[in-house]
Amino acid sequence: SQKIEQNSEALNIQEGKTATLTCNYTNYSPAYLQWYRQDPGRGPVFLLLIRENEKEKRKERLKVTFDTTLKQSLFHITASQPADSATYLCALVTGGFKTIFGAGTRLFVKA
């Protein structure tokens, strides 16, 4: 069956450290992979997109990698801040009109 797996346990890190979140998928062949941020009681907000032929993408303090052989994406936040505390969602775009989401990983950054 098709699955998207993100760490269900919350990630707790100290301010200034790099947070690394993992997204693994099975039985998909995504053309694109997206990452969203969701704050409590709010809708998800788009952060980054990476294509299947791209290994790495950066935007300010964010970095995403995409390994189609391992079927895995890593999402890094460098120099993390308490304001980065949120739930981060991985989403696969498999073609057509459907975007499939993982359950998300909650990140807590302590000051």
Q: List residues near another protein by CB under 8 A.
A: 4, 8, 31-32, 34, 36, 41-46, 49, 89, 91, 93-104
Nearer to another protein, 30 or 80 (CB): 30
Closest distance of CB 14 from another protein, Å:
27
Please state, in angstroms and rounded to a whole number, the distance separating the CA atoms of residues 94 and 11. 28
Please state, in angstroms and rounded to a whole number, the distance separating the CA atoms of residues 3 and 16. 32
Nearer to another protein, 98 or 111 (CB): 98
Closest distance of CB 108 from another protein, Å:
18
